[in-house]
Amino acid sequence: MSSFIMSIDQGTTSSRTCIVNQAGSLVAEARETFKQIFPKPGWVEHDPEDIWHSTQRSMRLALEKAKISGSQIAAIGITNQRETVMMWDRKTGKAVYNAIVWQCRRTQELCEKLKKNKKEKIITAKTGLVLDPYFSGSKIQWILKNVPQALSKAKQGNLLAGTVDTYLLWKLTAGASHKTDVSNASRTMLMNIHTGWWDEDLLKIFSVPSEVLPEICPSNAHFGNTQGLGFLPDGIPITGILGDQQAALFGQMCFEAGESKCTFGTGSFLLLNTGKKIIKSKNKLLSTIAWKLKDQDMTYALEGGAFVCGAAVQWLRDGLGLFQHSSDIEKLAATVEDSGGVEFIPALTGLGAPHWRPEARGLICGLTRGTTKAHLARATLEAMALQNVDVLLTMQKDLGKKIKSLKVDGGAASNDLLLQLQADYLGVTVIRPENLETTALGAAFMAGLGVGLWKDVKELKKVWKTNKEFKVKINLKTRKERLKRWEIALERI
């Protein structure tokens, strides 16, 4: 049997392909960037053809780097930027408009109108999401309203809609498969997370005809087979699809309720597995579907995040010129024992969960004549950790029990000082895996389950390896004092 999984990780700025073996190790990785399109202030788009071409190039290059042939690929998994959506002609396969990216704010007015019409309560009850342009439903409505003939084509059954996973699946199967998985569907604001199906009330609210939407499947379903690609043989099964943050949760082996992960990226994304139960947050965290395995119940999660995490380090590097490389911050911050009383609230684009203050702006306070750039570097790492504590403590309150540990991934997870601060301020062990590319691994693991490369999640757990555990080194009193200083600083913005 072929023993390699091809994992496509289609992100906001690049398309990446990883080759993973049966031992769960990353054999090869290739990445291709593509153009970002900003037609108006607050608008963000991608050319669907750019997404497809960059994905194909990364697939070819990954095979070359792995020095294997397409015939050795047992299955393909897909993970993707979640809320980005596009619509294309069923007959020609051509998009009728650019992909509208998750970051795009063009439907703000539409969402405000729905709030005024008192639709927010029913939307949140059915989807677990906050009514915001971030999600896909209002983006589809915008295309149908603003692209000539889009609505008439949709009603005739000639127009298809989908998040990026659906579009790639359509391309990989030469138009034979128009499907998505529950994790991506849960981010459209059109699916009822209680039933796992498109919801008639939601479709009516957003004026989206059901005919344009893909079939919703379990995350390890047989979504289709490759066809007509040239560089890959026909017939390779596509057996795993997950949204990127859910893929990271799965790749971190957070299979039990109460297990959580944090991805340190431009922002930080935290997901907490809540098992078979939908936890309705009292603090505007998102209730979402983590995944659904074939013949099993839905697995749910709580999600929250900070808008600015790694971006704060980039600002110190590019905006203030404190160091040349982002990785330099750890060495600089380690030259001082603490931040010297400096507090940095990195609300450079507002505050995310659990505060939800889009109008908030960054704050640096506690400066003295003795303050150095090392203190500011240290304060930045502390802020990155403290923001996550705010989210995770809120999650614990919603869940009703303390989390056991926190698994971490993403670029900044290589920073030992940051992870020690995270463990100290949260009061639980922080675990770093051997491989930080957990998003791509999650999609690979899901596809491997789907094709039978691994029998079940118990067998899958055997391939996951820990790189380092960061144990708590401060006492409860010190932790409480530190969190209090952070709370006081937050009150000043």
Q: Would you list the DSSP string of 344-388? A: EE--BTBB-TTT-BTT---EEE---TT--HHHHHHHHHHHHHHHH
The b/e string for 316-332 (b: 16+ C-beta within 10 A; e otherwise) is: bbeeeebbeebeebbeb
The alpha carbon of 54 is separated from its chain's Cα centroid by a whole number of angstroms, namely 20
Whole-number pLDDT of residue 60: 95
Check residues 101 and 359 and name the one with the higher pLDDT: 101
> What's the rounded mean pLDDT across residues 152-164?
90
What's the pLDDT at 282?
83
If one compares 350 and 435, the residue with the highest pLDDT of the two is 435
Distant-in-sequence, close-in-space partners of 222: CB < 8 Å, separation ≥ 6? 237, 238, 239, 450
- The structure's pTM equals 0.89
pLDDT at 90 over 80: yes
Q: Of the candidates 191, 218, 244, which is a domain's last residue?
A: 244
Tell me: pLDDT of 1 over 70: no
Task: Clarify whether residues 213 and 130 are in a common domain.
Answer: yes
pLDDT at 314: 85
Residue 40 clears pLDDT 70, i.e. is over it: yes
pLDDT tens string 221-247: 999 999 999 899 999 999 999 999 999
361-379 average pLDDT score: 92
Nearest to 279, CA basis, from 128, 139, 169, 158: 128
Q: In this predicted structure, what is the pLDDT of residue 102?
A: 83
Q: What is the pLDDT of residues 162-205, one digit of tens each?
A: 999 999 999 999 999 999 999 999 999 999 999 999 999 999 99
Residue 360 has pLDDT above 90, yes or no: no
DSSP β-bridge partners for residue 408: 262
Across residues 332-341, what is the average pLDDT? 92
The encoded tokens of residue 151 equal 């609505």
The kind and range of the H/E element at 76 are strand 73-80
The structural domain count of the chain equals 2
Q: Are residues 17 and 87 in the same domain?
A: yes
Q: For residues 58 and 228, what is the distance between their CA atoms, to the nearest angstrom?
A: 17
- 462 and 407 share a domain? yes
pLDDT bucket at 355, cuts 50 / 70 / 90: confident
Please, what sign has the CA dihedral across residues 76, 77, 80, 86? Answer: positive
Average pLDDT over residues 6-29: 92
Range of the domain at 430: 253-493
Same domain, 166 and 286: no
Sign of CA dihedral 105, 106, 111, 116: positive
Same domain, 342 and 269: yes
- The pairing of strands 179-181 and 215-217 is parallel
Q: What pLDDT, on a 0 to 100 scale, did the predictor assign at position 324?
A: 86
Q: How confident is the model at residue 357 (pLDDT cuts 50, 70, 90)?
A: confident
Pairing between β-strand 286-292 and β-strand 298-306 as defined by DSSP bridges: antiparallel
State the CATH number of the domain containing residue 17. Answer: 3.30.420.40
Whether residue 150 sits in one domain with residue 275 = no
